[in-house]
Amino acid sequence: MKKFHLILDYKMLSFWLEKIKKNSIFAFRLTTNSMDIFSNEIIGISFSTILDDTAVYLPLAHDYKGVPKQLDTNFVLKHLKPLFENVKIYKIGQNIKEQILILKNYNIEINNIFDINIESYVLNNLLSKCDLVGLSRIWLKTYEINYFENIFNKFKNQNNFSKVPLDITASYLCENVNIILMLHLIMWNKIKKDLQLKKILTKIEIPMIKVLACIERNGVFIDQKFLLEKSRLININLNNLKLQAHKISGNEFNLSSPKQIRDILYNIKEIDITRKTPRGNLSTSYEVLSKLKSNHPLLKIILEYRSLLKLKSAYIDKLISMINHTSYRIHTSYQQSLTVTGRLSSVSPNIQNIPLENHYDIFIRKAFIAKKFSKIISADYSQIELRIIAHLSQDQNLLSAFNNKEDIHYSTAAEFFDLPIDKINSKQRRIAKTINFSLIYGISPFGLAYKLNINIKQAKEYIDIFFNRYPRVLEYIRSTYQSAMDKGYIKTLEGRKLYIYKNKKLGNLMHNKSIERTAINFQVQGTAAEIIKKSMIHIDSWLKNKDKHEIKMIMQLHDELVFEIHDNYIERYIKKIKFFMEHSANLYPPLLVRISIGLNWHDIHLQNI
């Protein structure tokens, strides 16, 4: 293990600042006392350089009996600001987006960054879900990791580092940044030898870190009164359902307890549950009870109770608890390196999982509102995956449909439901959308029959109709599968690779279909992910010269970007947004973006722009 030093006075701070500057590269990690995006206090900072065998820890807010005197945080950050903002010095971190958000509270920008999680993700997106220990075992195969895993166990019950002795903290965190720096040097050496991977990392994934940090800090304004009222009304409904269930069954029981529900249903002769759980108990899952709900009124009440309870606890109450007390907004955290395809995901909360609608007419997206004198603007790529398929396959019928400005899903719905296109409603279009993507991504006749609740013969007929209409799409699917099998990987348009696992023992139709689905899904979804990321980077660069009171980029989900724009600037700015998004990739057919405007995220209306 490298040696480490503590910085406890200005003389030592000056010495190490000069030493770090001479290296032109350093790894660092901030430790804080809170996860709050606006109020976390920096407990200390660790640094590692490459010119010698030393790392250093700079404590700032350790607080325990006998702790040595530490330098003032504002004084230290004033001297660190030029270092972090220096564009000629590389800063290496892990989850560096969090460090960017922390230092933003101190008016410090971090320039010229690398993140080892993103580097590992670019090299192999199947290895992305690793902590520092996991990454070390993959890339530092000879590194002794036991010390790193066990050193902090003694203090694992502490809420933060401020109560941990300096020598223990310094030892752990200096080891941490040493590993981060070593990992970067190894992975960057591999990446820069592949020009496509280097471009993906430096032109897309690294710039995206700052874009996401900005979106997270902007946050989304939430109508708390709306959510509180919906929560209150659901509570009333839940209580009424509970009383109805007790009256019907003749017993009081907990409607959230599978065991108590099982005991109640066992004695009702009209309800014959045959499916069992892995432990041998009768199953009371949603799927099982839904099939039997017409047999007894109690089942419908139990199912409705469960649905309402989930809506309340998983969405409404959770959103209320996540409203920041400083900004009155929610600040989701975007995960850049979790999905195989390159798509972004989000947590705390997962905004991409918030339902568009439900059968209780409780539209949660109504709570996502704009501030006074502003509107919510949604910019959504129109049928981007089908456009990518058309570009890759160059199927003439599909290209003609787009050139004629047809909606492919409406055309499919018209044929499937045997109705004129102008008679197709939004629900039927959603079903058609499911059909189209199911076929493109390689669903079997059996799978399509199950999904649409039709017989297998009908499913086969529909598959034949689809591929007869779009024959080059079928050729594209087959050639992409063969390329993946031959090369052992598949690539997006930008060159990101997914390595295909071929199991010779499973060389059957099912295994081949799985590889086919994986290859098509990755190429199409991965390309779509790259397109919207490039759009976000261009828009973020443009927004740097704009006042945040005029416009903010506040959310990204799937193929949609969401903005909050002041009423005075809407017409001017949406034209720029549309331009950036539609020109982020050269596809034939060209990209199309639809703009919607409203007072909240649910009540947005399509604008012809």
CA angle at residue 426 from 421 to 427, to 5 degrees? Answer: 110
607 vs 609: CA distance, rounded Å: 6
Task: Work out the average pLDDT over 154-181.
Answer: 81
User: pLDDT (tens digit, 9 = 90+) per residue, 59-86?
Assistant: 999 998 999 999 999 999 999 999 999 9
- Report residue 573's pLDDT band, with 50, 70 and 90 as the boundaries: very high
CATH 3.30.70.370 boundaries in the chain: 330-384+529-607
Pairing label, strands 90-93, 25-32: parallel
CATH number for the domain running over 385-527 = 1.10.150.20
> For the chain, where do the domains classified as CATH 1.10.150.20 start and end?
385-527
- Domain at 4-193, CATH from 3.30.470.20, 1.10.620.20, 3.30.420.10, 3.30.420.40: 3.30.420.10
Please compute the mean of the pLDDT values over residues 565-572 and round it to a whole number.
Answer: 96
**212-248, pLDDT tens digit by residue?**
999 999 999 999 999 999 999 999 999 999 999 999 9
The SS3 assignment for 12 reads helix
Q: What is the dihedral of CA 572, 576, 581, 583, to 10 degrees?
A: 140
Instruction: Map 398-450 to HEC letters.
Output: HHHHHHCCCCHHHHHHHHHHCCCHHHCCHHHHHHHHHHHHHHHCCCCHHHHHH
For residues 181-205, average pLDDT: 96
Ranges of CATH 3.30.420.10 domains, the chain: 4-193
CATH of domain 224-324: 1.20.1060.10
Q: Percent of the chain, pLDDT > 70?
A: 92
The per-residue pLDDT for 148 is 46
Which CATH fold topology does 330-384+529-607 show?
Alpha-Beta Plaits (3.30.70)
Residue 7 has pLDDT above 50, yes or no: yes
Residues of the chain with CATH 1.20.1060.10: 224-324
With DSSP H G I counted as helix, E B as strand and the rest as coil, what are the percentages for the chain, rounded to 5?
A: 55, 15, 30
